[in-house]
C-alpha cells in the first residue's frame, strides 16, 4: 500500500500494476477497498474510462459499506445494485 500511495500521483501505470498484484495476493484484505479506489483513479488518469467504470461497478458491489465506495460513486457515477423488494407482508426482502 505504501508503494501505491507513493506512485498514485506520478505513475498511474505502476499503480494499476501494483493494485492488481495486491488484489491477487490479498483479495479480501483490509486495504482492498482503498486499493480498488486507487486502481480506478489510475485507470481514469490513463484515459481508460470504460475499464475504470467496470472496476468501479465491481468495487461498489464488493465493498458496499466502505467509505471508499462513496468517493468512487461520486467520482464515476457507479452505484451499488440493490436487490430489494417489498414482500407480501410489507417487509423489505432481499432477492
CATH number at residue 45: 1.25.40
pLDDT tens, residue order, the chain (95 aa): 999 999 999 999 999 999 999 999 998 889 999 999 999 999 999 999 999 999 999 998 888 888 899 899 989 988 877 665 667 777 766 65
Q: Rounded to 10 degrees, what is the CA torsion of 35, 82, 50, 66?
A: -20
pLDDT of res. 84 = 58
Residues in contact with 88: Cβ distance below 8 Å, sequence separation at least 6, in sequence order:
none
Place of cell 457507479: 78
Q: Domain residues for 47?
A: 2-94
- Overall pTM surpassing 0.75 (yes/no): yes
Closest CA to 4 of 39, 29, 46: 39
Amino acid at each position: 500500500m505504501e508503494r501505491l500511495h507513493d506512485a498514485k500521483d506520478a505513475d498511474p501505470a505502476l499503480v494499476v500494476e501494483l493494485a492488481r498484484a495486491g488484489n491477487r495476493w490479498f483479495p479480501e484484505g483490509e486495504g482492498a477497498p482503498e486499493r480498488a479506489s486507487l486502481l480506478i483513479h489510475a485507470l481514469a488518469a490513463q484515459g481508460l474510462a470504460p475499464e475504470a467504470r467496470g472496476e468501479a461497478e465491481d468495487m461498489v458491489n464488493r465493498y458496499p459499506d466502505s467509505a471508499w465506495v462513496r468517493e468512487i460513486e461520486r467520482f464515476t457515477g457507479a452505484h451499488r445494485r440493490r436487490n430489494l423488494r417489498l414482500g407480501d407482508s410489507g417487509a423489505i426482502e432481499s432477492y
